[in-house]
Amino acid sequence: MRVLHFFKTYWPDTFGGVERTIHAIVKGVVRHDIQSDVLSLSKTPEKNTVEFDGHMAHKAKLDLEFASTGFSREAFGRFRALSRKADIVHYHFPWPMMDIVHLAIPPGKPTVVTYHSDIVKQKFLLKLYGPVMHRFLASVDSIVATSPNYLATSEVLQRYKDKTAVIPLGLDEADYPKASEEDKARWRTRFPKPFFLFVGVLRYYKGVHILLEAARQTASDIVIVGEGPMEASLKAYAQQNNLKNVFFLGALPDADKTALLELCTGVAFPSNLRSEAFGLSLVEAAMFGKPMISCEIGTGTSFVNQNGKTGYVVRPDDPPALAEAMKRLVNDAEAAASLGAGARLRYEECFTAERMGNAYAALYKRLHGQTSSGSMERKR
């Protein structure tokens, strides 16, 4: 069986949360004799159409971007050619360009959509896009929500709950090599005190400004790994408020990120808006057996991090509550260790790449089997 994934970006152009999820799915279904291709957009498609970890990352020319949406004329032809070779087409929502391509060129194959997030920020554009979105979602064969929390709280998904399944995101430990003693010693020297780690793209909904406000109320170090559009304003705030316990490290190689995950007291994940649908950084924290601090925003973050079992869940936009949770973990080593052990157990039970891959393989085979049965019935 062959699956075509279609999303706006992918490696080597970018490798964020959705891209890592696609990669983990592709790797996870190989053991079920399912091969995959990925089609995305790129400013330099001739350079970035490459083989990646056993599958092809195909590119169509990116013509323009508007409201975080890439558009491409070439994508129509590339999608037509690649979907003809596929048995299943797997979309990753949201990306309006994808909806248009699907409706203009129906693949004639079973279709799956992983619904990563509602559209939250562009409310005016959503009014214009809404009819297209619902035509697209109504036309696909199966929708996947990444957590029961998101399925229950998304008004859009509730319209399609009869064909929506829940498959939580998962990560593969093999993609996170153990940190060397030299790397850990280097970072331990730099951060000898207890510290909390934030890992992610510095976007508006990540709540890092709340974390900086909380840093004024705690003696613990706050280590921020990542870059993004909010980086300059966040650094300016830290400088203006003389936050000497806040450290912006930018993007780091995986070996350094692994070392920091092993050494940190816990992971702070202060996302405060529904745009944060799941939080793969929380899965990383659980995988490393680290207690988590996140906010209750009605999404998958509270599916990954269970209050009192794997960490603490606090109110969003509440710096004192965030600071208090950090103090509790620093001052009670026994509780921190227990929550970390709970986090690791939750990773093993719910969020491995193998578990996610098995679930998607079963879904693909069910949809493909239904198509094959339907074809046989028509032939009779």
Q: How many CB atoms lie within 10 A of CB 247?
A: 15
Same domain, 260 and 131: no
Percent of the chain with pLDDT over 90: 87
**pLDDT at position 17, please?**
85
Same domain, 199 and 344: yes
Q: How many CA atoms lie within 13 A of 74 on its CB side?
A: 17
**pLDDT at position 379, please?**
35
For the chain, first and last CA: distance in Å? 24
Residue 65 has pLDDT above 90, yes or no: no
Same domain, 199 and 299: yes
Same domain, 120 and 223: no
Helix (H) or strand (E) holding 212: helix 208-215
Percent of the chain with pLDDT over 70: 96
Same domain, 24 and 156: yes
> Which residues have C-beta within 8 Å of that of residue 139, sequence separation ≥ 6?
102, 103, 106, 111
Same domain, 223 and 340: yes
In tens, the pLDDT along 105-117 reads 999 999 999 999 9
Residue 68 has pLDDT above 90, yes or no: no
With H, G, I as helix, E, B as strand and everything else as coil, classify residue 180.
coil
What is the reported pTM? 0.90
The torsion angle over the Cα atoms of residues 52, 56, 59 and 65, rounded to 10 degrees, is -60
Question: CA separation (Å) from 219 to 194, 195, 319, 320, 324?
Answer: 9, 9, 14, 13, 11
How far apart, in whole angstroms, are the C-alpha atoms of residue 207 and residue 304? Answer: 18
Band (pLDDT 50/70/90 cuts) for residue 236 is very high
* Domain enclosing residue 148, as ranges: 2-172+353-379
Residue matched to tokens 């999404």: 299
Residue 12 has pLDDT above 90, yes or no: yes
Same domain, 344 and 358: no
Same domain, 140 and 204: no
How far apart, in whole angstroms, are the C-alpha atoms of residue 260 and residue 169? Answer: 22
Same domain, 344 and 207: yes
How far apart, in whole angstroms, are the C-alpha atoms of residue 251 and residue 201? Answer: 9
- Contact between 143 and 367 under an 8 Å Cβ cutoff? The reply is no
> Which residues have C-beta within 8 Å of that of residue 132, sequence separation ≥ 6?
96, 99, 100, 103
Band (pLDDT 50/70/90 cuts) for residue 303 is very high
CATH code, domain with 146: 3.40.50.2000
**pLDDT at position 377, please?**
42
Same domain, 181 and 319: yes
**pLDDT at position 175, please?**
87
Same domain, 196 and 273: yes
Residue 378 has pLDDT above 70, yes or no: no
Same domain, 34 and 102: yes
In tens, the pLDDT along 93-102 reads 999 999 999 9
Domain count, the chain: 2
Q: How many degrees, rounded to 5, is the angle at CA 369 between CA 112 and CA 150?
A: 30
**pLDDT at position 122, please?**
65
Residue 360 has pLDDT above 60, yes or no: yes
In tens, the pLDDT along 149-172 reads 999 999 999 999 999 999 999 999
